[in-house]
Amino acid sequence: MSDPSPYLFPPVAPLRTGMLQVDALHTIYWEEVGNPQGIPVIFLHGGPGAGLSAQHRRFFDPRHYRVILFDQRGAGQSTPVGETRQNTTQLLVSDMEQLRALMGIDQWLVFGGSWGSTLALAYGETHPERCLGFVLRGIFLCTALEIDWFIDGAQWFHPEIHEEFAAAIPPEERGDLLQAYYRRIMDPDPDIYWPAVRAWSRFEGRRVFLMPQPEEPSCDTLDLGLGRLEAHYMANLGFFEDEQLLKNVERIAHLPAVIVQGRYDVICPPLTAWRLHKRWPGSIVKMVPDAGHGAMETGISRELVAATEAFRRFGRF
């Protein structure tokens, strides 16, 4: 991966952080970055369950944007980590509204990649009046076809990675790897769920970038959040009706949108981004020719920053 830093803004510390109790079980971590009088923007991380990184603050000019970031239920610094009870897309949308009210924001730009694009669309279609526009990356609509690609389509480009992932499951269960992993990931026995969540996290992480990257050391919070929540949401088809997000695009079609998509994204292939674009006539697609799925790949980060800068200057893309 080339260094994306020439296109990102310098590292910046939060102005303030906090914990918001959204129900009796879940408390979410949030942070505010940039100019308190700037254009409000909500950042939605991927996964689900991947959590925030300090790098995520750097897509926005802190002189001009008021950036709100949060760890979704069960992810990052939110508690309890990896909790799947009371964890649905509809509840995440509700959390965003609680956070918006806490911040005293009327409308905001919605920025999300991968699962973050899923949540961005779900939020926008539920609360279009609260949205200024959308910056979306690596589109994922959480359909059965996309989930099947994520699990078994991996063998078409990464047969060795898929083979390793399947090898942890007895042969008689390999016909449905999602359910086989889901059973193990949700098992209460740590000796069963820890190997499963770590295998799941590694299975995804090794396919994110176009060019192979050195593997990061294992992180329990990331592995548990990502493994449990991705399996939970995929097993439940994102808690959506069939093709729901595409069918309801007309609710936000009047709003500006830019879609940044890696040409060689094997996690969320370009067809999904193209289908969304065709249902959203005013949207702009930026197909990055030398990138996979990672937000920090050079071409992806360049286009994401270009989008936030265009919106800052003109209120459109």
Q: Which domain holds residue 222?
A: 144-236
Q: Are residues 212 and 277 in the same domain?
A: no
Question: What is the per-residue pLDDT for 301?
Answer: 97
Question: Could you tell me what percent of the chain has a pLDDT over 90?
Answer: 94
123 and 22 co-located in one domain: yes
Q: What is the mean pLDDT of the chain?
A: 96
Q: Is there a single domain that holds both residue 95 and residue 172?
A: no
Is 94 among the catalytic positions? no
9 inside domain: no
Question: Of 236, 271, 303, which residue constitutes the final position of a domain?
Answer: 236
The predicted model scores a pTM of: 0.97
Tokens read off for 51: 């959590």
Q: Is residue 3 part of a domain?
A: no
Looking at the fold, whether 213 and 264 belong to one and the same domain comes out as: no
Task: Kindly provide the residue ranges of all beta strands, DSSP E only, lying in 140-281, ordered along the sequence.
Answer: 257-262
| 10 part of a folded domain | no
The domain that holds 111 is classified in CATH as 3.40.50.1820
Judgement on whether residues 152 and 91 belong to the same structural domain of the protein: no
The answer on 116 and 209 residing in a single domain is no
Q: Active-site residue among 45, 277, 293, 301?
A: 293
Tell me: do 264 and 187 sit in the same domain: no
Among residues 69, 88, 89, which one has the least CA distance to residue 28?
69
Confidence of residue 317 (pLDDT cuts 50, 70, 90): confident
Q: What is the pLDDT of residues 284-293, one digit of tens each?
A: 999 999 999 9
Cα distances from 69 to residues 96, 102, 114, 150, in angstroms, run 10, 13, 16, 26
Residue 6 domain-assigned? no
Sheet holding 131-137, edge to edge: 16-21, 27-34, 65-70, 39-44, 108-113, 131-137, 257-262, 284-288
Structurally, the chain folds into a number of domains equal to 2
Enter the tokens of residue 254.
């009047």
Give the Å distances, CA to CA, from 10 to 2, 57, 63: 17, 9, 11
Q: Which of 61, 95, 223, 265 is catalytic?
A: 265
pLDDT of amino acid 215: 81
**Last residue of one domain, picked from the residues 202, 236, 270:** 236
- Which of 195, 214, 236 is the endpoint of a domain? 236
* Average confidence (pLDDT) over 233-240: 98
**Is the domain of 185 the same as that of 38?**
no
Query: What is the rounded distance in angstroms from the CA atom of residue 87 to the CA atom of residue 79?
Result: 12
- Catalytic residue flag (residue 242): no
> Position 65: which residue type?
Y
Catalytic residue among 114, 117, 201, 283: 114
* 1 pLDDT tier (thresholds 50, 70, 90): very low
114 is catalytic: yes
- Note whether residue 54 is domain-resident: yes
- In this structure, the answer to whether residues 248 and 128 fall within a common structural domain is yes
- pLDDT tens digits, residue range 152-208? 999 999 999 999 999 999 999 999 999 999 999 999 999 999 999 999 999 999 999
**Residue 258, domain member (yes or no):** yes
Residue 33 shares a structural domain with residue 94? yes
Domain membership of residue 286 (yes or no) is yes
Judgement on whether residues 265 and 301 belong to the same structural domain of the protein: yes
